[in-house]
């Protein structure tokens, strides 16, 4: 069922604990193959890009394997980083850039050590602020994919108003800018216990013609492809009949 799918959100470096070696990339590729995937998209966190090794990557790509490798980058979007991100994007021949919002005004809201920060917010205001920054990420023109669209639910704090309403302007910005959103299974293993994005958000994405990619957000080889079959089943249930692949920042639609 997932034989043509790619896992487009994989961190071989983890949060810095992994080494960027050919052996490690081979492990990740092997796991992707075992998981029945056709593509593996490496998307290191941009703050670890200095540890990416272009030569190691090139030799991984030369290897003869059933998995095709793609080079992405997961960028932490902040409104003040536009120039810096534009420069990052030219450092390597990326196939795609994922724009992710991980912090608001310097507060890393997805980090367990900073969880008490939620106390300072009325929850719907927080969701509004989060999606306001997501909209800016989409409008920046810097990205191909929006990462974990509703990451703000990570610890299970749910909005009072329907999330589709709070996200409406962001979804419109994503659609207008022609970006894809990823279906990211890592949320299943967080207190939110749910794929990003929630089903109702994904329906709203489909209604606006927003394409999708798939990602496990693996930080270890064993996590590559994790629950992607559930992501594909969710996409089909919602009504998606295609997803996108990227090569040199050009999207190609593939039947689902
Ligand atoms: Zn991470
Ligand atoms: Fe992320
Ligand atoms: Fe990630
Ligand atoms: Zn991520």
Which helix (DSSP H) or strand (DSSP E) does residue 86 occupy?
A: helix 82-88
42: CA distance to ligand 3 center in Å? 10
Q: Could you tell me the sign of the dihedral formed by the alpha carbons of 103, 18, 7, 253, in that order?
A: positive
- For ligand 3, the distance from its centroid to the CA atom of residue 10, given in whole angstroms, is 7
Beta strands in 136-178 (DSSP E): 145-146
Which CATH number, 3.40.50.1010, 3.20.20.140, 3.40.50.2300, 3.50.50.60, labels domain 6-255?
Answer: 3.20.20.140
Compute the distance between CA of residue 26 and CA of residue 102 in angstroms, rounded to an integer. 29
| Predicted confidence (pLDDT) per residue in 9-67, tens digit | 999 999 999 999 999 999 999 999 999 999 999 999 999 999 999 999 999 999 878 89
For residue 108, how far is its CA from the centre of ligand 3 (angstroms)? 14
Q: What are the distances in angstroms from CA 151 to CA 54, 111, 157?
A: 30, 11, 11
For residue 2, pLDDT beyond 60: no
- Residue 4: pLDDT band (50, 70, 90) is confident
Distance 74 CA to ligand 2 centre (A): 7
> Which ligand has the shortest distance to the CA of 102?
2
- Distance, CA of 151 to CA of 40 (rounded, Å): 22
pLDDT per residue as tens digits for the range 232-246: 999 999 999 999 999
- Is the pLDDT at 119 greater than 60? The verdict is yes
Q: How confident is the model at residue 221 (pLDDT cuts 50, 70, 90)?
A: very high
**CB neighbours of 163 closer than 8 A, spacing ≥ 6?**
127, 150, 153, 198, 200, 201
Pairing assessment for the beta strands 212-215 and 180-184 based on DSSP bridges: parallel
Neighbours of ion ligand 4 (CB under 5 A): 74, 217
Residue appearing with tokens 């536009």: 82
Around ion ligand 2, residues with a beta carbon closer than 5 Å are 100
CA 111 – ligand 1 centroid, Å: 10
Q: What confidence category does residue 1 fall into, taking pLDDT thresholds of 50, 70 and 90?
A: very low
Q: How far is the CA of 193 from the centre of ligand 4 (A)?
A: 16
End-to-end CA distance of the chain: 9
CB neighbourhood size of 28 (10 A): 26
Going from the Cα of 7 to the center of ligand 4, the distance in angstroms, rounded, reads: 12
């Amino acid at each position: 069922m997932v034989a043509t799918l790619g896992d487009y959100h994989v961190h071989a470096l983890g949060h810095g604990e992994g080494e960027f070696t050919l052996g490690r990339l081979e492990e990740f590729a092997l796991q992707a193959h075992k998981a029945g995937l056709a593509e593996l998209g490496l998307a290191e966190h941009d703050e670890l890009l200095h540890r990416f090794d272009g030569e190691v990557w090139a030799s991984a790509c030369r290897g003869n394997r059933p998995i095709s490798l793609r080079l992405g980058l997961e960028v932490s979007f902040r409104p003040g980083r536009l120039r810096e991100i534009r420069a990052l994007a030219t450092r390597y021949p990326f196939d795609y850039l994922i724009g992710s919002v991980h912090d608001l005004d310097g507060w890393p809201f997805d980090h367990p050590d900073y969880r008490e920060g939620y106390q300072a917010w009325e929850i719907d205001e927080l969701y509004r602020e989060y999606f306001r920054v997501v909209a800016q990420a989409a409008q920046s023109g810097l990205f191909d994919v929006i990462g974990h669209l509703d990451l703000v639910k990570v610890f299970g704090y749910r909005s009072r108003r329907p999330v589709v309403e709070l996200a409406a302007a962001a979804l419109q910005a994503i659609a207008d800018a022609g970006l894809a959103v990823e279906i990211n299974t890592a949320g299943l293993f967080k207190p939110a216990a749910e794929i990003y994005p929630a089903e109702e958000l994904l329906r709203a994405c489909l209604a606006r013609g927003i394409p999708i990619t798939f990602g496990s957000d693996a930080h270890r080889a064993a996590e590559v492809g994790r629950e992607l079959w559930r992501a594909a089943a969710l996409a089909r249930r919602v009504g998606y009949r295609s997803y996108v692949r990227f090569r040199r920042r050009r999207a190609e639609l593939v039947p689902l």
